[in-house]
Amino acid sequence: MTHRDNAGSVGSVKFVTFLVALSPVLLLLGARVQLQDNGYDGILIAINPQVPENQNLITNIKEMITEASFYLFNATKRRVFFRNIQILIPVTWNANNYSKVKQESYEKADVIVADWNGIQGDLCTSRHRGRVFVHEWAHLRWGVFDEYNNDKPFYINGQNQIKVTRCSSDITGIFVCEKGPCPQENCIISKLFKEGCVFIYNSTQNATASIMFMQSLSSVVEFCNASTHNQEAPNLQNQICSLRSAWDVMADSADFKGSLPWKGSELPPPPTFTVTQAGDKVVCLVLDVSSKMAEADRLLRLQQAAEFYLMQIVEIPSFVGIVSFDGKGEIRAQLHQINSDDDRKLLVSYLPTTVSAEAETSICSGLKKGFEVVEKLNGKTYGSVMILVTSGGDEHIGNCLLTVLSSGSTVHSIVLGSSAVGNLEELSHVTGGLKFYVPDNSNSNSMIDAFSRISSGTGDLFQQSIQLESMGENVSPYHQLKNTVTVDNSVGNDTIFLVMWQTSGPPEILLLDPTGRKYYMNNFIINEAFRTASLLIPGTAKPGHWIYTLNNTHHSPQALKVTVASRASSSTVPPATVEAFVERDSTYFPHPVIIYANVKRGFYPILNATVTAMVEPEIGDPVMLKLSDDGAGADVIKNDGIYSRYFFSFAVNGRYNLKVHVNHSPSESAVDHSVPGSHAMYVPGYIANGNIQMNAPRKSLRRSEEEQKWGFSRVSSGGSFSVVGVPTGPHPDVFPPCKIVDLKAVKMEEEVTLSWTAPGEDFDQGQAASYEIRMSNNLQSIQDDFNSAIFVNMSKLKPQQAGTREMFTFLPKLFLNGLEPDGETQESHRIYIAMRAMDKNSLKSAVSNVAQVSLFISPNSAPVLGRDSLIMKGVLIAISLIGIICLIIVTAHYTLNRKKRADKKENGTKLL
């Protein structure tokens, strides 16, 4: 199970101490990290370019990973350790005889070294960073979850006692209210926990578990197993992993199933480190000009996108060359270093203007010429980037696969049309490049979106071009395309508005800035050959809403497209970014793919954004899909800034292109309560030698007034994925509702209230037909045999639209006829509740997570009976009471009459 396993993918905000952030996306997508002979090889650690040069940092990284390796080895019972590590030094540091990179880059790193404020606390010193690294490695490599819960730090157990959400329960400490010790009952008011109450742990413990709870305690050296795991604790590990311990989940991973413990009694060797540094940024555009590029305006769209890349996206002082190819390759421009707009314009002049008459394409010939170009800089191709644009159709790509791999170059592929390109995409895969698909739709902006996604790879957000808008429509004669773009205060430098058209000359353009200033067609630079009009806003663009209007003044409809991009306005405030991706490159019908969008500001997750995915098939209209960060359906972790959704609207076989739009309203809180990095790194305080020592609270990121005023908008390409096995004609209903993963149960008085997020008719879309809830007093029973658990009638509750919060309240005593507590005292009764959803065709979801709640029962109370038994018993009691009353009356009447007769007889005797 991966870190987002029942969503299917790894995806989490990066973990950062002062030093380190593990990158979940790359642990998912890349195959760099290999486990061989119990050791992990190929781990790449990259230092953020904003980190000041400090040679001690490299030493500290080595010490941390070495500590983590031995800690991991012992914690996994001598199973795994870290063997080979590569540290990537940023180009901003001085050269110091570091090795030169091959295909390594910041964006491919498994671990990010970053610097920020807010990491505080004595238990967060460098001597614990190796332990935190292991905690996060377990998240991302084996799919286990935190065993603490900052939102619910306490719970009431089966004995009606206040307990701390922890694993194991043997970890000791005291309750603290407002920084002073207090009895636990003071932390609860009407069964709601008092704000400010925390549980402070003793710095000296005997408990050895668990690393997923509090690895900073010196005694903790193990993961929780079946004997030490606390199944009652309301944490993500129990919720998502079906109450299984971390060790049980890890034991099912490929790492553990495929390895035996390290032989012998010795420790493994310490990790070995290689320190490398990126050189000059070297890029070569390798462009297809075969006759197939004349179809569907492919060459025109390539020209527009390549011009935009050269004029806006590629950063100063990169070296760029241009190669074209059909059946053979041709060098169009040797390497030019970009230092000014004139350099950019010169490179644009070398872009191809016509297609060849030759239909044959030789991609290998084009790449070979590209390698020739980049070799002229320093005699090597290591670290270079090839941006390969082609219509495909080359069956001989495999001939140069080994050459490309050994070149040390990264190949990003952009494929136009629907030609078979399996081997072509393999070039990108083996070199760690991105792959994109551009459908033959005249109003599609996919080509520019692809170029916009290919950044320098240095990780410097303050230099990268950020896409704010990407829009295209077929506009009828004398109609217009009109929209609003938000330029927030974190961007604004080098802001460019690019307008593109298909035929018949340019549209009429009107652009209004936030102050009402108007820009017309004569303010734009026109390129008639490429059919583009561009406006570069001087200085820093004013923050606020920019409104553009494109009027089609021609007699025929035409495709009009707009792209807006900008750079950071400050070197200290990181701009909001979005990274879109899917969890797999290909799927077979009916298996869905999961779409993700990681929305963040620096390392801070951005919450409450409106995130919409647009999926373009090879044939047919695009599909729009809203992504969510609610911890339900495809989204496992709530409010982590990673928005997701299942996609299964497969119209045809072939490739699908993904683009994500993000908008954030100024009225919505984005990151007000957000803190970066691993929560495992911070503890509120601890007890040492009987003294309470509290740590300062973690710092959260607050939005500026300007940001609150305007919000922001972003666009990002998510590359492409392929689908096979899609049936022709109408599809049968094969998609059940998705699994409910956030079922919660709360007891108030005699009632239990359940809450969960509604699934859909098909996975997390639409509206399910009905719910089925069952409960048991035996955890193993409801997990292993849900159908045999007690049925709870909820037929009157109709499911709502997917994503809606559902609630259901019931009296559990009406359903617990004859059940006895299972392994608990007679004073408590713990029940376990699970549910599933059904669609209109009776397709059932998987059984939900198991919620649990304790019913407090008085020691002298009689067993709780079912509703029907209670009614029958009441009737019988009433009848019995009536009978007893009648019997008393008859007996009393008989006794009274007998007494009267006795009195008369006695009186008569006396008279005689």
In the annotation, is 53 catalytic?
Answer: no
Place of tokens 């920019």: 546
Beta-sheet pairing, 558-568 with 851-856: unpaired
Q: Do 236 and 637 meet the contact criterion of CB atoms below 8 Å apart?
A: yes
Measured CA distances, 350 to 286, 307, 332 (Å): 12, 10, 6
What residues are paired with 197 via a beta bridge? Answer: 177
Active-site residue, selected from the candidate residues 107, 136, 469, 772: 136
Beta-sheet pairing, 282-288 with 192-193: unpaired
Instruction: Tell me how far apart the alpha carbons of residues 198 and 178 are, in angstroms, rounded to a whole number.
Output: 8
Structure tokens at 251: 């034991």
Evaluated on CA atoms 498, 500, 505, 511, the torsion sign reads: negative
Instruction: Tell me how far apart the alpha carbons of residues 241 and 230 are, in angstroms, rounded to a whole number.
Output: 13
Measured CA distances, 443 to 77, 296, 439, 557, 640 (Å): 58, 11, 10, 11, 34
Give the CA angle between residues 256, 257, 260 to the nearest 5°: 65
Q: Do 455 and 463 meet the contact criterion of CB atoms below 8 Å apart?
A: no
Structure tokens at 302: 């390539």
In sequence order, what DSSP letters do the residues of 600-632 get, joined into one string?
EETTEEPPS-EEEEEEEESSS--EEEEEB-SSS
Nearest to 160 by CA among 821, 841, 681: 821
Cβ-Cβ contacts under 8 Å for 647 (sequence gap 6 or more): 582, 592, 593, 594, 595, 613, 615, 623, 625
Q: Do 325 and 286 meet the contact criterion of CB atoms below 8 Å apart?
A: yes
Instruction: Tell me how far apart the alpha carbons of residues 846 and 858 are, in angstroms, rounded to a whole number.
Output: 36
In sequence order, what DSSP letters do the residues of 361-394 get, joined into one string?
--HHHHHHHHHHHHHHHHS--TT-EEEEEE----
Supply φ then ψ for residue 404, to 5 degrees.
-65, -45
The widest CA-to-CA distance across the chain, in whole angstroms, is: 153
Cα within 13 Å of Cα(579), Cβ side: 23
Instruction: Tell me how far apart the alpha carbons of residues 168 and 161 are, in angstroms, rounded to a whole number.
Output: 17
Evaluated on CA atoms 366, 372, 375, 381, the torsion sign reads: positive
Nearest to 318 by CA among 287, 278, 352: 278
What residues are labeled active site?
136
